[in-house]
Structure 1
Amino acid sequence: LFAAQVARTPDATALVFGSERLSYAELDTRATTLARALLGRGAGPERVVAVALPRSADLVVALLAVLKTGAAYLPLDRNHPAERVELMLTDARPHLVVAEDGFGDRLVRPGDTGPEPVWPSISPDHPAYVIFTSGSTGRPKAVAGTQLALANRLHWGRGIAEGTRLAKSALTFIDGSTELLGGLVAGDPVVLADDATATDPHALAELVRTSGAQVLTVVPSLLDTFAEDTEADAFASVTTWITSGEPLSPALAEKVARRWPSAKLVNLYGCSEVAGDSLAQECGPVAIGRPVANTRAYVLDAGLRPVPPGVRGELYLAGAGLARGYLGRPALTA
């Protein structure tokens, strides 16, 4: 999808980070250069490459480079507790780590390159990403999402918004990937927030003002903060608000409609095991939504039988978005 967009609009702006602006062709060239280094060091399908970089153009280059090799990327946040990072490295067993320093003989630096490689054949069933769950129900689990699942989510997401997109979500959550890569495969410029700005509501408001960002993905609690605590003209350029990660209340949806009446609000529902999002609803009425492309949703009882409308049950999801499973945990996957 990214390669096709590069071919369509090579000179268009793809990424903005601070004063740095990269066209699609420039971003692709840098990603290809790093991919050659990774392939030369053994990256490829069915292998994991960790990415441990601060939010920067190099981070985006590294994600695209890993995808070009056919390996699965594992985002690491070096600000996380050392115990969690070590758990992720132990469970995912990355072959290489793209970072500025550390990681011994697995280290690949962002500016590295290698000889012209034999580019691998990539299957839709090969893993594209490894994202760890929060661990709220026990030991964090490594979700291995497929090339098909990620491509399906990104291709569908091109239709829910258009315009300059602000990327602020942590890549250790699947929403960080769909937020960032979604703009790049849609031909929309992506403005990447740095680490400090990404966690500061007022700094984000200023970045939206200076960049003219039109598409912004937030959890509902942050959206409520924006609606309540920012200046009257804040976020005036935003034409599409996308919420996910928490329940969206009717009261908040109404507050957003009053505060920004010309903007649309899209509510998404999903999890890491289904490439981030499986259901979507444009508000008006707040609802969990309907399945995204190539996705099926069922509400079943304890015996796995469909329940009648209005009867409570468990939500089951099927289709192209399903992950391969939990890395190294076949019993739990089953």
Structure 2
Amino acid sequence: MSAEEIVEHTSLVELFDGVTDRNPHAPAVTDADGSVTYRELGRRSLEIAEKLVVGGATENTLIGLRVGRNIETVASILGILRAGAAYVPLDPTYPAERLRFMLEDSGARLLLDASGPGDAVLTALDETDRAAGADTGAVRVAYVAYTSGSTGRPKGCVITHDNVLAFLSGTLPLFDLSGTDRWTVVHSLSFDASVWELWGALATGATACLVPSEVIADPVRFVELVTSAEVTVVSLVTSYFKFVLDACKKSRTRPTGLRHLFFVGEAIRLDLVRDFLSLPEFSAVTTANMYGPTETTVFASAKVVTKKDTENGPRSPIGAALLNAELMITDGSGRRLPDGEAGEITIGGATVGHGYLGRADLTQERFPTRDGQRFYRTGDLGRRLPDGGFEYLGRMDQQIKRRGFRIEVEEIEQVLREETTVEDVVVCLCAAGAAEFLVACVVPRDGSADGLTDVLRARAKRLLPAVMCPDKYLLLPRLPYNDSGKLDRFGVQRSAQEALTGAARS
């Protein structure tokens, strides 16, 4: 499907229905229990939409959706959109308090639980202490995705139908994708990489294969599934791919039908790509590095990575801007910088989201408008290369990528700092060999160190998603500060790294 054919649709539902009209009996989605055709999925989504309308859903109503790795979740997404509403994806593995905050902050009045077996269950929520809801104006919201927040308060990114359609029209035509493809859906449907996995398949008439959690947890079983299910398109974060690659090397049978491998969510490792492309079965696989934050609708640029690219050139190439997106390198005042000079990656175009839900101040700061066009300041450091492509150089602030999730360490610090026996805390990402560890460097209050690590570990587990829970705790008498009186985060990082390395040696 061409870019023009995608964007001429007025909604994602209209796009899906058009594909269904052309391929009613094609398999749309598979899960651990079976599969459904496009016609069957459309019929189920209509039943859910009717239930939602009776339950009070109207245009742009935000509906909390507890997601699972099942067909009913996909039908629920379509049903919510078909009702004119928008969904707030809720991963049931997140702590209850975090899920409660997301529901309250979004102002959701309805909760649709599709995470279990059987039909999705609709519940009307108590409106006490809930936010007023989205200030969306005339835009048609598709979903609100919550990301980590620097103040300990997650923020909801408002993404519209037009955003997703612009994203798909700028991405799908770049690759040889068709209705005969079979895509894995590896990432949680609360993580925006799944928007690419799911809608990349549905927009092209292909099959979306929902991978069970227990299979994802075992890279060997994942490789076996990709092989047995004749999967042709896979999207992975680098930190998981390295285990999948190792499983491929050790496997007697390899997924020889694989045609496309997309790297999403975190910085690419060219050495791993080189090893992958060196395996005879995968030498012809198209490997692409996809870059973009949640706020600009999944991806904003793409770079097909060849074996030659892995041997010389930029360390982390992210390619050129997608159609409907614009990338530029700017300084602190928003001025464009010349080629080769490092600065903040700033993104414009039709894929830029509507802003942060109920956070007008933060939206104004991170989504500046110039000459009537909305941009997003990513906080990523990069530079424009002579060939017109871009290179990612890392984060400008303390935000990190871990297992594909974007994390602001200040949120973790805020949660741990609220423990009464903690004087201060800094969180950093350290490496020991090939492994990465999230380390919390803690200064106990009044020397109250007894049992503090266990207390903090339990607190983190209760209040934070697993990916944000520190792996290790380092108790320090004080934190280092520089000559200007500012916290020396690099000094903390060095201390944590030295402690981690010393422990590994011993």
Both proteins in one fold, TM over 0.5 = yes
Tell me how far apart the structure 1 counterparts of residues 145 and 18 of structure 2 sit (CA, whole Å): 26
Tell me how far apart the structure 2 counterparts of residues 6 and 180 of structure 1 sit (CA, whole Å): 15
Q: Which runs of 5+ in 2 are unaligned?
A: 1-14, 127-136, 310-315, 365-506
Tell me how far apart the structure 2 counterparts of residues 2 and 87 of structure 1 sit (CA, whole Å): 32
Tell me how far apart the structure 2 counterparts of residues 232 and 287 of structure 1 sit (CA, whole Å): 33
| Correspondent of 2:146 among 132, 140, 147 | 132
SS of the residue corresponding to residue 317 of structure 2 reads: coil
Tell me how far apart the structure 1 counterparts of residues 289 and 210 of structure 2 sit (CA, whole Å): 22
| Correspondent of 2:291 among 269, 272, 287 | 269
In structure 2, do the counterparts of structure 1 residues 263 and 10 end up closer, same or farther at CA, with 3 Å as the change threshold?
same
Q: Which residue of 2 aligns with 1:236?
A: 256
TM-score, length basis structure 2? 0.60
Q: Which residue of 2 aligns with 1:222?
A: 240
Q: Which residue of 2 aligns with 1:299?
A: 329
In structure 2, do the counterparts of structure 1 residues 199 and 151 end up closer, same or farther at CA, with 3 Å as the change threshold?
farther
SS of the residue corresponding to residue 293 of structure 1 reads: coil
Q: Which residue of 1 aligns with 2:92?
A: 78
1:172 aligns with 2:172: no
| Correspondent of 2:265 among 215, 235, 245 | 245
Tell me how far apart the structure 2 counterparts of residues 44 and 198 of structure 1 sit (CA, whole Å): 36
What is the correspondence of 1:1-334 to structure 2 with a 5 Å cutoff? 1-99=15-113, 104-106=123-125, 125-135=139-149, 138-159=152-173, 160-162=175-177, 163-230=181-248, 231-259=251-279, 260-284=282-306, 285=309, 287-334=317-364
In structure 2, do the counterparts of structure 1 residues 106 and 76 end up closer, same or farther at CA, with 3 Å as the change threshold?
same
- Kept after mapping to 1: 8 A contact 2:63/2:88: yes
Structure 1 residue 19, shift from structure 2 partner: 4.3
Tell me how far apart the structure 2 counterparts of residues 168 and 124 of structure 1 sit (CA, whole Å): 33
In structure 2, do the counterparts of structure 1 residues 241 and 8 end up closer, same or farther at CA, with 3 Å as the change threshold?
same
Residue identity over aligned pairs, in percent, reads: 28
Q: Which residue of 2 aligns with 1:113?
A: none
Tell me how far apart the structure 2 counterparts of residues 167 and 263 of structure 1 sit (CA, whole Å): 18
Query: For residues 83-138 of structure 1, what are the alpha-carbon distances to aligned partners after superposition, in whole Å with 9 as ceiling and x for unaligned?
Result: 1111111111212111168885349xxxxxxxxxxxxxxx9821111111034664
In structure 2, do the counterparts of structure 1 residues 239 and 232 end up closer, same or farther at CA, with 3 Å as the change threshold?
farther
- After superposing the two structures, state which structure 1 stretch, 138-147 or 263-272, moved more: 138-147
Query: For residues 46-87 of structure 1, what are the alpha-carbon distances to aligned partners after superposition, in whole Å with 9 as ceiling and x for unaligned?
Result: 211111142111011001111112211111111211111111
Tell me how far apart the structure 2 counterparts of residues 322 and 250 of structure 1 sit (CA, whole Å): 28
Tell me how far apart the structure 2 counterparts of residues 129 and 194 of structure 1 sit (CA, whole Å): 23
Q: Which runs of 5+ in 1 are unaligned?
A: 108-122
In structure 2, do the counterparts of structure 1 residues 92 and 200 end up closer, same or farther at CA, with 3 Å as the change threshold?
farther
Tell me how far apart the structure 2 counterparts of residues 165 and 207 of structure 1 sit (CA, whole Å): 12
Alignment RMSD (CA, Å):
2.0
Tell me how far apart the structure 1 counterparts of residues 305 and 138 of structure 2 sit (CA, whole Å): 33
- Kept after mapping to 2: 8 A contact 1:129/1:145: yes
Tell me how far apart the structure 2 counterparts of residues 320 and 268 of structure 1 sit (CA, whole Å): 17
SS of the residue corresponding to residue 158 of structure 1 reads: helix
Structure 1 residue 193, shift from structure 2 partner: 1.2
Q: Which amino acid aligns with 2:303?
A: Q
Structure 1 residue 202, shift from structure 2 partner: 2.1
Tell me how far apart the structure 1 counterparts of residues 198 and 337 of structure 2 sit (CA, whole Å): 37
Higher gyration radius (CA): 2
Tell me how far apart the structure 1 counterparts of residues 62 and 218 of structure 2 sit (CA, whole Å): 32
Q: Which amino acid aligns with 2:78?
A: L
Q: Which amino acid aligns with 2:182?
A: T
Q: Which amino acid aligns with 2:21?
A: A
SS of the residue corresponding to residue 3 of structure 1 reads: helix
Q: Which residue of 1 aligns with 2:397?
A: none
Larger RCO (alpha carbons 8 Å, 6+ apart): 1
In structure 2, do the counterparts of structure 1 residues 264 and 136 end up closer, same or farther at CA, with 3 Å as the change threshold?
farther
Q: How many residues align?
A: 319
Tell me how far apart the structure 2 counterparts of residues 309 and 126 of structure 1 sit (CA, whole Å): 37
Tell me how far apart the structure 2 counterparts of residues 102 and 191 of structure 1 sit (CA, whole Å): 23
Structure 1 residue 296, shift from structure 2 partner: 0.8
Query: For residues 125-181 of structure 1, what are the alpha-carbon distances to aligned partners after superposition, in whole Å with 9 as ceiling and x for unaligned?
Result: 211111110346642111111111111222333333521111111112111122112
Tell me how far apart the structure 1 counterparts of residues 197 and 90 of structure 2 sit (CA, whole Å): 17
Tell me how far apart the structure 2 counterparts of residues 80 and 161 of structure 1 sit (CA, whole Å): 36
Q: Which residue of 2 aligns with 1:119?
A: none
